[in-house]
Amino acid sequence: MLDTIKVFTDDFRVKDGANLTIQPSNIDYETSEQNDKRLFRNSLGEWVEGAKAFINTDRYNLTIKPNLLGDGIKAFIQFSLPKALGGDNFYPILESEVTQAKNVLADDIANKGILLNLEDCRVSRIDAFKNVYTDENFTDYSPLFSLLRAKRALRRDYGSTFLWANTQREICVYDKIQEIQIRGGAFRDYPQNTTRFEYRLLNARVTKRDTGIEKLRDIDNLDAVRDAYKDALEKHLFSLSVGEIEILASSELENIIKAYKDRGGRYWIREFKEDFGAYMVLKMTNLETLKGILERVTDYRMVAWRVIKDFEKSRNAIALMTKASNSKTLSDLYNELKEKVLND
């Protein structure tokens, strides 16, 4: 569940001869000026200066530098709790292992000559994840991910990675095995159809608001993070009510029309025509192109924006009934993922 965590503190001390690297500031070649910053004091009370000081290990990265907000010098630490114990982050750590993982990190940081209370550090980012072992290959789910729209977030498609993001939160879904392969890691011992769903809280304010976590010591179990993760994924990706749509027999179009009829209502034919029309238009072009055409024709951006939203909603209603490349419907795939992501 827990992966990357970022913390920071201004209450730290660096031992003389600590195992860290000082990076000097850039030198202006024309003037020979070098704008080094104060980083920490040595045992004689003298300032050690540079652009930053840092330690990079397989388990964590520690950086000492002036805060960009101008409120002093801080030590920033980024680490992965699963890596702290097991050396990689494929599998989540158990709730009973959280304290042990934090102690391993604290001991290693102290052994390198950086004295601080890790538990008192403020948390500025939390990444939570769940590995979903899917029935199909990742590419079979790609059309579904292309349809899903998180609230108040932009979606980006990188092929084997889909990202829904704003300045405070991110949801990232990607092919974990392909990611390991790209990094040159050993992957054959892991389940092949592994899709990772990550939820990222990107700053201290939103982390506290969503989880109640302010300092690292507040993470003594996984309840708050688990609840925030489930609420976010349910709200932003799995809020659709698709139902059981049977499209695996006879004519696909006939079954789609029958689904609209079975839904009931006086205007089911009109609803089908509107939705299917939008679906066909967006098979010919994409939303951005259509939006540009509407803006030029109507000369009114707000009209184009409202129409595009209606087109997208109607297109999705039909698309979720169409067959995916593996002869399952997109709603079958959607229901599978929803069940596996939201249930423990």
Domain count, the chain: 3
Q: Is the pTM of this model over 0.85?
A: no
| Domain-located, residue 291 | yes
Does some domain include residue 137?
A: yes
Within a 13 Å sphere around the CA of 190, how many CA atoms are in the beta-carbon half? 22
Q: Work out the average pLDDT over 173-190.
A: 87
Same domain as 115, residue 32: yes
Residues 260 and 302 in one domain: yes
Structural contact between residues 62 and 54, judged by C-beta atoms closer than 8 angstroms: yes
Evaluate whether residue 324 is within a structural domain: no
* Within a domain: 306: yes
Q: Within this chain, do residues 235 and 267 fall inside the same structural domain, yes or no? A: no
| Average pLDDT for 71-95 | 91
The reply to whether 137 and 105 lie within a common domain is no
Is 96 a domain residue?
Answer: yes
For residues 203-211, give the mean pLDDT.
96
Tell me which of 48 and 283 has the higher pLDDT.
Answer: 48
Residue 325, in any domain of the structure: no
In a domain, 334, yes or no: no
Domain extent for 195: 125-242
Are 76 and 105 in a shared domain?
yes
Q: Are residues 263 and 229 in the same domain?
A: no
Residues 102 and 133 both lie in one domain: no
CB 80 within 8 A of CB 102: no
Indicate the residue among 191, 207, 242 that finishes a domain.
242
Q: Are residues 132 and 199 in the same domain?
A: yes
Q: Angle at which helices 223-236 and 330-342 pack, to 10 degrees?
A: 160
> Given this model, what pLDDT does residue 158 score?
59
* Closest residue by Cα to residue 100 from 83, 119, 79, 85: 85
pLDDT over threshold 80, residue 71: no
- pLDDT band for position 325 (50/70/90)? low
Kindly report, residue by residue over 243-278, the tens digit of the pLDDT: 433 333 334 577 778 778 887 788 888 888 888 888
- 189 vs 327: which has the higher pLDDT: 189
Q: Does residue 66 have a pLDDT over 80?
A: yes
